[in-house]
Amino acid sequence: MSTSATPLSVAVIGAGMAGRSHAAGYRNVNTVFGAGLPPVRLAAIADAHLELGEDAARRYGFERALPSREASTIDAVSIVVGNALHRPIAEALVAAGKRVLCEKPLAGSLEDARAMAELERSSDVVTSVGYTFRRSPAIAAIREHVQRGELGDLTLFSGRYWCDYATDPNVPLSWRYKGGHGSGALGDIGAHVIDAAEYIAGPVAAVSGASLPTQIPKRPLPLGAVVGHNAAPVSEEFGEVENEDTASFTARFESGLVGTFSVSRTAFGLPNGLSFDVLGLGGRAAFDQHRPAEYLFDDAQPEARTRGARQIISGPRLPYFAGGYPMEAPGVGGGNAEMFTFQARAFLDQVAGVADPLPACATFADALRTMEIIQAVVDSSLHGGAATPVPPAV
């Protein structure tokens, strides 16, 4: 497919840390992979805090910053704001014929998520969700090992996402700490590890043994805007934390596979600790985001003396690597920013109808499924850890 001369105009709604990651991704989409994608016009970044939007627009080369969303001349938009705002913004954009890439989790409530999935079913525009870890070369390679049967019949998936952004009790109360159980650590970071589990090992059928404790029940009210996980000036007044700091549960997959999950935003010393092990009768694989340019792989090697886990360094033979990194040599890639670039490219490949696109982004329906699992975890916790079914995968 030849590259169109007509640029694709893109915008980002939200100029916080994730919004900037989307902005940086759009800036770099035409530097990765094959030809076919039209030129990209970096049109606007919208944020209620205009100064923050102006700074992001300057950093990433967008034409202008806006205090509110305005999409009249835009082709594709990333929604990167508080979860409760996803649905109304997505509905307005889809009604205007815009293509949408929405950050996870899909919405602030299961009701809103279901409405957004129905919106996707009834519309004819591209709608996608930002599960960036699907773009990790190491994680995608582990998925391929599983799909090729190289681990044998799977026996256990053990996933963790441990972060420390909320360990300080003086971290100000923000939207992340509001909303019911399931919207805290489970929805914020647990959504990623749940999606990774199903991406690698297939659908979850039921959960049980859920616990959703809150370690820091009150936090100081901020005196101004809070950006991402950053510190901010606070008042002497405190407000209630409404959701969980940690979550743990077990899962049964439709295949019969057993899963264990643990997530925390109060895990001291672990800034971004997504990790998992997937084990089968014939091998195992393990990944740790703190070492993103590698994974461990152990299979049934014929020589018993040399059996054991091998460190696989990310390189051009792994998914996304060749064509995705300027220096196509083992050991030089694996960063978070690159995954956002690969995600933005995959989204715009869909929008532009590129002939040889990257694997498509997750859909609203995929992200609804994650939220249905989260709701099942909440229901299990409310009933003493009772086994709770998840709606069947469609």
In order of their start, the domains of the chain are 8-133 (3.40.50.720), 135-327+370-382 (3.30.360.10)
Full-model pTM: 0.94
Q: Which residues of 19-56 are buried (b: 16+ CB within 10 A; e: fewer)?
A: bbbbbbbbbbbeebbeebbbebbbbbbbbeeeebbbbb
Residues 6 or more apart whose Cβ sits within 8 Å of residue 184: 176, 177, 212, 214, 241, 242, 243, 244, 245, 247, 265
Q: What pLDDT sits at residue 71?
A: 64
Beta strands in the chain (DSSP E): 8-13, 40-46, 64-66, 76-79, 99-103, 127-130, 154-162, 204-211, 218-222, 234-240, 246-253, 258-264, 273-280, 283-288, 294-299, 310-313, 388-389
- Each residue's pLDDT, cut to its tens digit, for the chain (394 residues) gives 345 678 999 999 999 999 999 999 999 999 999 989 999 999 999 999 999 999 999 999 999 999 876 666 899 999 999 999 999 999 999 999 999 999 999 999 999 999 999 999 999 999 999 999 999 999 999 999 999 999 999 999 999 999 999 999 999 999 899 999 999 999 999 999 999 999 999 999 999 999 999 999 999 999 877 776 777 788 999 999 999 999 999 999 999 999 999 999 999 999 999 999 999 999 999 999 999 999 999 998 777 677 889 999 999 999 999 999 999 999 888 889 999 999 999 999 999 999 999 999 999 999 999 999 999 999 999 999 999 999 998 7
Q: What pLDDT sits at residue 72?
A: 67
Q: Report the C-alpha gap between 259 and 196 in whole angstroms.
A: 12
Q: Which two tokens stand for residue 127?
A: 């709608």
Q: What pLDDT sits at residue 191?
A: 97
- Amino acid identity of 127? T
Q: What pLDDT sits at residue 1?
A: 38
Q: What pLDDT sits at residue 308?
A: 86
Q: What pLDDT sits at residue 133?
A: 97
Characterize the bridge pairing of strands 8-13 and 40-46. parallel
Q: Which two tokens stand for residue 339?
A: 């995954």
| DSSP alpha helix (H) spans, 61-201 | 86-95, 110-122, 137-147, 185, 191-201
Within 13 Å and on the Cβ side, how many CA atoms surround 105? 31
Q: Report the C-alpha gap between 346 and 78 in whole angstroms.
A: 13
Q: Report the C-alpha gap between 336 and 263 in whole angstroms.
A: 19
